[in-house]
Amino acid sequence: MATGLDSQAQDILRTNDRGGYTVPTAGLYPYQWNWDSAFAALGFAQFDMDRAWVELETLFAGQWDDGMVPHILHHVVNPGYFPGPEVWGCNGPSPSSGISQPPVAGTIVRKIYDLDPVVGEARARRLFPKLRRWHDWFLKWRSHEGAICITHPWESGRDNTPDWDGAMARIDPKDVGEYDRRDTSHVDNAMRPTRYDYDRYIWLVQRGRRLGWDQAQMAEDNPFFVADPTMTFTLLRSHRDILALGEALSEDVAGMADDIAQLEAGAESLWNNDLQSYDVRDTVNGAWANCISNASFLNWYAGIPSDGQAKHLDRIMDLAKYPLPSHDPASPKFEPKRYWRGPTWSMMNMMIGEGLIAFGLPQGERLRDATMRLIRDHGFSEYFDPTDGSPAGGQSFTWTAAIWLAWASPNARRA
Ligand code: DGY
């Protein structure tokens, strides 16, 4: 039987379980979020394998005809969150948002399958074609020179990172109208995106809705089409994983090696030589963001070594007591408590750390140890202040509990 922090983490997953899907945290996020849910499955796989598969099956039941898997599935009506399904105005198989989120599910399906291939075989086989269709959707609609782009800051999951400040400034949200934010009734204003950002988030939702979420129409004159290391590296990694899974299951993997070559070229197109870092590029004007974020360090996770990136890693790990901050602490835009402008996120640490460990780099275990200390000393919050570890955002958070169970806990069974 689990004890101590393992048992607390399991309780958080059980408490956030709404029957077939897990909310990220009660109150602030009352629906099923795409990448949160994939990490939840990874956590469940440590103690309830059936529940882990159910989480992913519920997520993929929301897949659209064109292959897109939405970033939010609104399984219930909840006035405590804005924007709800009536604002998105989507037509998928169930009420949902109209954008996607980082494709980490393929990697997690493979991990869960590897933990127990006998239990997992039939379920992984059913998910495999759905994963391929989702990945193909990214390759068809979000690719720019092989790099994967976002059409909304929420699509990356890194909502208010300074990475998109340049592209966001191009949007004039003057006709966005009145709306009532609910997030700041759950969490301190100073830990959330600003009104300036929210006006643009909602403006982009209104634009997508006006265009019926038709990807071809949305691509025309899109003021926000930004090539992102999060999407590029997670898709590349996930494509490698589902290729390996498909081979293990003798499924059709035709064309996947070519996709991987294209994504590798795309990843290299995000190397900012002046900055000596992977960076965000605005496809509308070709401008670099000139930002070193935690997503910049996902290259190893995607199977790409980089000495230049490792230099920044050492520098930033020395600057932050609880690495890895979501934005470079040496930058004037660093804000240690404001969501993606500085705080440390456990699931990013896991992906970055796993990549480093796979390359035999000692910083990987250092990052795991820092994540273990962070959760042990400061709890299961959504994110943390990297300067002193203080908890920030929502509490009793699903992915922090899941990362504890699957990676940071000394008892984790790591696939
Ligand atoms: C939020 O509401 O802050 C979410 O990140 C949107 O997906």
Please tell me the distance between residue 106's alpha carbon and the centre of ligand 1 in angstroms: 22
- What is the number of domains present in the chain? 1
Span 88-142, pLDDT tens digits: 999 999 999 999 999 999 999 999 999 999 999 999 999 999 999 999 999 999 9
In a domain, 301, yes or no: yes
Q: What is the mean pLDDT of residues 216-236?
A: 97
In a domain, 414, yes or no: no
* Tokens, residue 287: 């401008």
The set of residues, in sequence order, having a beta carbon less than 8 Å from that of 91 and lying 6+ positions away, is 213
pLDDT at site 2: 82
Q: What is the DSSP letter of 405?
A: I
pLDDT at site 336: 98
Residue 31 three-state SS: coil
Using DSSP bridges, classify how beta strands 226-227 and 281-282 pair: parallel, antiparallel or unpaired. Answer: antiparallel
In a domain, 386, yes or no: yes
Residue nearest to atom 6 of ligand 1 (CA): 154
Count of Cβ atoms closer than 10 Å to residue 19 Cβ: 8
Q: What is the DSSP letter of 172?
A: -
Q: What is the mean pLDDT of residues 212-228?
A: 96
Q: If residue 278 lies in a helix (H) or strand (E), which one and from where to where?
A: strand 277-278
Annotate 9-18 with b (16+ C-beta within 10 A) or e (fewer). Answer: bbebbeebbe
Please tell me the distance between residue 72's alpha carbon and the centre of ligand 1 in angstroms: 9
Q: What is the mean pLDDT of residues 155-179?
A: 97
- One-letter amino acid identity for 239? H
Q: Does residue 154 line the site of ligand 1, with CB under 6 A?
A: yes
Span 245-259, pLDDT tens digits: 999 999 999 999 999
For the cut 80, the answer to whether the pLDDT of residue 79 exceeds it is yes
Q: Of all atoms in ligand 1, which is nearest to the CA of residue 101? A: 7
| pLDDT above 70 as % of the chain | 100
Residue 135 three-state SS: helix
Q: What is the DSSP string of 46-95?
A: TT-HHHHHHHHHHHHHT--TTS---SEE--S--TTSSS-HHHH---SSSS
In a domain, 21, yes or no: yes
Span 299-338, pLDDT tens digits: 999 999 999 999 999 999 999 999 999 999 999 999 999 9
Please tell me the distance between residue 290's alpha carbon and the centre of ligand 1 in angstroms: 24
The set of residues, in sequence order, having a beta carbon less than 8 Å from that of 107 and lying 6+ positions away, is 234, 237, 238, 241
Span 347-391, pLDDT tens digits: 999 999 999 999 999 999 999 999 999 999 999 999 999 999 999
Please say whether the beta carbons of 297 and 309 come within 8 A. Answer: yes
Residue nearest to atom 4 of ligand 1 (CA): 154
For the cut 80, the answer to whether the pLDDT of residue 157 exceeds it is yes
Q: Is the pTM of this model over 0.75?
A: yes
Please tell me the distance between residue 114's alpha carbon and the centre of ligand 1 in angstroms: 31
Q: What is the mean pLDDT of residues 283-290?
A: 98
In a domain, 316, yes or no: yes
Please say whether the beta carbons of 88 and 205 come within 8 A. Answer: yes
Instruction: Domain of residue 124: give its range.
Output: 4-408
CATH number at residue 347: 1.50.10.10
In a domain, 216, yes or no: yes
Closest CA to 231 of 317, 164, 316, 322: 164
Q: Does residue 159 line the site of ligand 1, with CB under 6 A?
A: yes
pLDDT at site 121: 98
Q: What is the mean pLDDT of residues 38-59?
A: 98
Which is catalytic among the residues 155, 159, 163, 282?
159
Cis peptide before 83 (omega within 30 of 0): yes
In a domain, 413, yes or no: no
Please tell me the distance between residue 212's alpha carbon and the centre of ligand 1 in angstroms: 21
Which is catalytic among the residues 279, 354, 382, 385?
382
Span 163-174, pLDDT tens digits: 999 999 999 999
Q: Of all atoms in ligand 1, which is nearest to the CA of residue 157? A: 5
Any catalytic annotation for residue 365? no
